[in-house]
Amino acid sequence: MNSEKILITGAGGFIGGGLFEKLKHHNPTGVVFNLREGLNDENFIEADLRDGKRVKEIFDKFKPATVFHFAAFLSPKRNEENPEQAKEANMGITQNIVDNLSDDAHIIFPSTDKVFDGSDPNPDEASEVKPLWLYAELKYQCEEIIKKKTDKFHIVRLPIVHSLGQPTSISTKTGRGSFIDKAIIDLESGKEVTVFKNVERCFLRIEELLHVFEVFIGDTNYGTYHVGTKMMNYYDRLCALCDELGVDWKDKIIPVEGNAKPLRQNLNTDKLNNIFGIVLT
């Protein structure tokens, strides 16, 4: 099967938009929810992926060999407040995708570090999941839907993904990005930002994630992978990025205490490093 026939769902989003641009030389097809301003490429198709018939039409037409499945209902808060919609847009869409996936096809799916509750100080891919929030429970259920259908998957559990403040992709041009990106943009314009000093996470630069995804195309080391930097707190991450970018942050990044749950969430990324030799910064 030719792994070059690539379909990207969520191609108008933060990560999917970045990957669509990076993989232009593969001529990918991108599915977007609505073709809004900034999303003008002949390879975009508009679809509500909750509609199983529409998903079938798309798969019958494009017969993708590699599917990057990013379309999802994000934000833990939004999921908690809209549980039915959250279930439909996470599990429902994922079920529609796998129902139409051919037996030879390869699927690549981003899950989350939130499948863990922070009680294990260094969870690896075999560690027991303990989601605290509906969003994470649904992402884990999506992992299970994929695993039930096929062995040809790369599931990546991701921490917070960020850019370097500047628009680098379709998605950031259309207003998507992380807390870190918004903080860098605010600091660049001289504003103060308050940042949690006591909340520790792994982090992931979008460019490094997109590289990992490109490495996965045609790769047969299928399985679940944790992807992220060593754990650090938000304050230290932001200060280090500002130093790297030459952004003046002295007295402008205000450290505060947060009550995020869990306070510390690590990811053991040895498997990714051992198999692919990828070091994340």
Ligand X SMILES: NC(=O)c1ccc[n+]([C@@H]2O[C@H](COP(=O)([O-])OP(=O)(O)OC[C@H]3O[C@@H](n4cnc5c(N)ncnc54)[C@H](OP(=O)(O)O)[C@@H]3O)[C@@H](O)[C@H]2O)c1
Site residues (CB under 6 A) for ligand X? 10, 12-16, 33-34, 47-50, 70-72, 74, 89, 93, 110, 112, 139, 158, 160-161, 171, 176, 178
Choose between 10 and 28: whose C-beta lies nearer to ligand X: 10
Choose between 114 and 149: whose C-beta lies nearer to ligand X: 114
Q: What is the Cα–Cα distance from 195 to 92, expressed in whole angstroms? A: 35
**Strand bridging mode 200-201 / 264-265:** parallel
Residue 151 Cβ vs ligand X, minimum distance, rounded to whole Å: 21
Choose between 10 and 118: whose C-beta lies nearer to ligand X: 10
Residue 75 Cβ vs ligand X, minimum distance, rounded to whole Å: 8
Residues 17, 49 contacting (CB under 8 angstroms): no
Q: Any alpha helices (H) in the chain, and if so which ranges?
A: 14-22, 52-62, 76-81, 83-87, 93-100, 134-149, 170-173, 179-188, 206-216, 234-245, 270-276
Residue 172 Cβ vs ligand X, minimum distance, rounded to whole Å: 10
Q: Is 165 left (phi over 0), alpha (psi -120 to 50) or beta?
A: left
Residues 31, 10 contacting (CB under 8 angstroms): yes
Choose between 1 and 179: whose C-beta lies nearer to ligand X: 179
Residues whose CB falls within 8 Å of the CB of residue 193, separated by 6 or more in sequence, listed in order: 183, 186, 187, 238, 252, 253, 254
Choose between 13 and 165: whose C-beta lies nearer to ligand X: 13
Name the residue with the smallest CB distance to ligand X: 13
Choose between 60 and 251: whose C-beta lies nearer to ligand X: 60
Residues 101, 93 contacting (CB under 8 angstroms): no
Q: What is the Cα–Cα distance from 134 to 81, expressed in whole angstroms? A: 10
Q: Nearest 5°: CA angle at 222, between 217 and 225?
A: 95
Choose between 252 and 271: whose C-beta lies nearer to ligand X: 271
Whole-angstrom distance between the N-terminal and C-terminal Cα of the chain? Answer: 34
Residue 115 Cβ vs ligand X, minimum distance, rounded to whole Å: 10
Residue 158 Cβ vs ligand X, minimum distance, rounded to whole Å: 4
Residues 268, 123 contacting (CB under 8 angstroms): yes
Residue 22 Cβ vs ligand X, minimum distance, rounded to whole Å: 13
Residue 242 Cβ vs ligand X, minimum distance, rounded to whole Å: 20
